[in-house]
Amino acid sequence: MALETTLILFKPDAVAKRLVGTVLSRFENEGFKINGIKKLFLTDELLADHYSHIADKPFFPSVRDFMQETPVIALALEGEDVISRVRDLLGPTDSKAAAPGTIRGDFGDKEGDAKMRNVCHASDSTEAAAAEIKRFFKDGEVF
């Protein structure tokens, strides 16, 4: 077991559907601790950095437009093995393939853009988490 901090983004679908409180409760019920929380608009520059691994994919422009539909809510979330445990709580990228009981299975888009409108982003490794927390939070904003 390792004490880690991960970066979560509540995506615009979660914000528009007023799902932030419900999903946040799932994280708190797991025993995870909120060390930072803020609302912010993702500029083209931030999105180019954050999604550099999909920048050459044909769906990237749609993802960028989606992520700019509303400001998002970013969390720095701490807990034992939080990085992999949150990824398990979320389920796979494709909400249609996500099992009931997972966050994407319960709240992700099932009709249209199931692979895109999937409620939350969460860091997928310790390296990514460290880089992403630095990207979205300034010094003094994570406690």
Binding site for ligand ADP (CB under 6 A): 54, 59, 63, 93, 115-116, 118, 121, 124
Closer to ligand ADP by CB, 78 or 132: give it. Answer: 132
Contact assessment for residue 116 and residue 63, using Cβ atoms and an 8 Å cutoff: yes
Distance in Å, CB of 38 to ligand ADP, minimum: 20
Question: What DSSP line would sit under 13-52, residue for residue?
Answer: HHHHTT-HHHHHHHHHHTT-EEEEEEEE---HHHHHHHTG
Closer to ligand ADP by CB, 56 or 139: give it. Answer: 56
| Residue 79 to residue 111: CA distance in whole angstroms | 33
Give catalytic status of residue 50 as yes or no: no
Q: Residue 16, exposed/middle/buried by CB under 10 A (0-12, 13-18, 19+)?
A: exposed
The H or E element spanning position 77 is strand 72-80
Q: Is 138 annotated as a binding residue?
A: no
Q: Is 59 annotated as a binding residue?
A: yes
Distance in Å, CB of 25 to ligand ADP, minimum: 21
Tokens representing 58?
A: 């044909």
Closer to ligand ADP by CB, 85 or 121: give it. Answer: 121
Distance in Å, CB of 143 to ligand ADP, minimum: 26
The annotation places the binding site for ATP at: 11, 59, 87, 93, 104, 118
> Active-site positions?
121
